[in-house]
Chains A and B, each alone.
Chain A
Amino acid sequence: MPAAAGVTRGGIDAMISNEPSYKERRNKRWIAISLLPAVALFIVLTAFPVVNLLALSFFHVEWREATSAFSFVGLDNYHRLFSTEKVFWDGVRNTAFFAVTAVSCQMVLGFSMALAVRTAGSYGRAVLTGIFLLPIVVPPIVIGTMWRLIMGREFGLANMLLGLLGLGPVDWLGNPDIALASVIFVDIWHWTPFVFLLMLAGLESLDGEVIEAARMDTRSRWQQIRHVVLPMMMPTIVVTLMFRVILSFKVFDEVYLLTSGGPGTATEVVNFSIYRTFFRQDQVGYGSAMSIVTLFAISVVIILARGFAQRRAARRSAVS
């Protein structure tokens, strides 16, 4: 801190000299007031819970006579998680498969549609955008119930339509071989419009003259797309991809409603495992261990991905 009163630090105060220190104190107070609520919320409700979970993961918790009894078990929970646990790892596998499949389908579909709309123009753009926004703002649990109704074995729309065509009913949600595919289908239905909107925005932000130059340099649309549009869209694509992948690890609502993780472990996902362990099986210590492992793994992925994206961006703009 500069010693003399009236001498200011950098930033926008640099233009103004000789500020009375009273003002400085007022300013510092403002910074505190404006940032503290957010910081407090984060610390109390996000940082502290993580610490809490970590601590609990070393315990076995039992409810005896309306109070909880803690018995220290060291790394037992972790040991169990990595050796005898089966359901959770099925869930990890499913979640990974789910993420990769669903997201790649959404990206291809969304990008193609955006490309088609951008180049050919569309009718009723406003209405279209409105309809496309529906899946995003509708509560996910509602999407789950909707598709539960549609894919229901007995009275669902899907099987009714199949019946009209003379085909037999399919147990979309009860057949272990199909169930995961059904869930993935719902996710694709849910998020493709989002990808579409992002891709469209990205395409519209491209420099028009560069695209015109490509039209003059190339012999076919495909050449234009492959050599010019796609490379220029890479930053947007990568960001959307990362966002969707990480978001797909948060899937819970739809699975809860559609299949509750069943049949068997066909649609088990990580979040559901944690939910069940914590709230249906009351294994708080074990659930905490699961949570910690999940948090750690995903955090690593996120940080690596951001680092990768940033290094890529830095390399692009290199020396300007």
Chain B
Amino acid sequence: MTLRLGSRILANTVVWGYALVILGPTLWVLSNAFKFKIDIITGATISPFTWINFNELLFSRQSDFLANLLNSAVIGIASTAIVIVVATMAAFTLTCLDVRPWVRWALLGWALLFHMLPTLTFVGSWYLMFSSVGLHGTYFAVIMTHAVHNLPMALFLMMSFVGALPRELIQAARMDGCSYGQVFWRIAFPLVRGGMIAATALTFIFSWSDFAISLTLTSRDTMTVPVAIATFAQEYDIRYGEMAAGTLLSIVPALLLILLGQNFIVRGLLAGAVK
């Protein structure tokens, strides 16, 4: 019996130890957001609390961070909206309806393949494509590329949610005379709303977090948060304080998501992995 308790304590020590390894560095970095630069540099743990970094970051002339936040939000919302609509409809059709096997196979196979290929290889071509039609640096370019980038994961996720609906429900609707479209709007769509929320949250997070695409396809006006943060780090005189402040602000969506719906995330990641 004591052996049981002992191994339980050991297991918990290991696991919570790792949790500390995760939290520790994170909290240290975030704490820098509230310190004066001199305190950061000298490594003072207890130091006067200040908002100066946030002020500099958000409101000073030299920083566009507010605009960056707006850009990330706009791009995130728009691309997520597109992805969710497209993915849900396609997921429904592929899962519940009579579709030629090769169509399903081709679409899902390509989605999976694309999902696993390095994004950078596509970014180069996208850059050229959008530049040649003068769309480089526009919201449109980034929104569309974000959409296609996140589509596979959203598709697989929605397929798992739609697949969880009882088949009889769909069949009953068909017997009652519904066309495919009606089955979707009246039956499937209302019932997978929970799943759609999960997919929306996850897709938004990934759009918000994207760096490779934003780095290359945005201009100064449309720069997103991740790119902005990277810019801070590239300068000779590293603006530690602002960097930390920016980091904290950029984590907010992720934190919200964790607080509000852990299950969704795990399910989403599982869907992406297990597929």
Q: Which residues of A are in contact with B by a Cβ distance under 8 Å?
A: 9-13, 15-16, 23, 26-27, 29-31, 33-35, 37-39, 41-42, 45-50, 52-53, 56, 112-113, 116-117, 119-123, 126, 128-142, 144-150, 154-155, 157, 160, 189, 192-194, 196-198, 201, 239-240, 243, 246-247, 249-250, 252-253, 256-257, 270-271, 274-275, 278-279, 284, 287-288, 291, 294-295, 298-299, 302-303
CA distance A113 to B145 in the complex (A): 37
B116 touches A247 (CB 8 A): yes
A274 touches B86 (CB 8 A): no
Given contacts A116-B11, A133-B262, contact A142 B251 (CB under 8 A): yes
B73-103 contact mask (Cβ, 8 Å, vs A): 1 or 0: 0000000000001110110111011110001
B154-192 contact mask (Cβ, 8 Å, vs A): 1 or 0: 010000000000000011001100011100100000000
B254 touches A15 (CB 8 A): no
Residues of A within 8 A of B121 (CB): 53, 271, 274, 291, 294-295
Given contacts A121-B8, A145-B247, A274-B120, contact A38 B125 (CB under 8 A): no
Given contacts A278-B127, A298-B116, contact A257 B15 (CB under 8 A): no
Residues of A within 8 A of B117 (CB): 250, 295, 298-299
Q: Which of B28, B171, B273 contacts A239 (CB 8 A)?
A: B273
Check if B67 is an interface residue, CB within 8 A of chain A: no
Given contacts A49-B126, A136-B269, A157-B25, contact A130 B258 (CB under 8 A): yes
Q: Which residues of B are in contact with A by a Cβ distance under 8 Å?
A: 4, 7-8, 10-12, 14-16, 18-19, 21-23, 25-26, 28-29, 32, 40-41, 43, 85-87, 89-90, 92-94, 96-99, 103, 107, 110-111, 113-114, 116-129, 144-145, 147-148, 151, 155, 170-171, 174-175, 179-181, 184, 205, 208-212, 215-216, 225-227, 229-230, 232-233, 240, 243-244, 247, 250-251, 254, 257-259, 262, 265-266, 269-270, 272-274
B226 touches A31 (CB 8 A): no
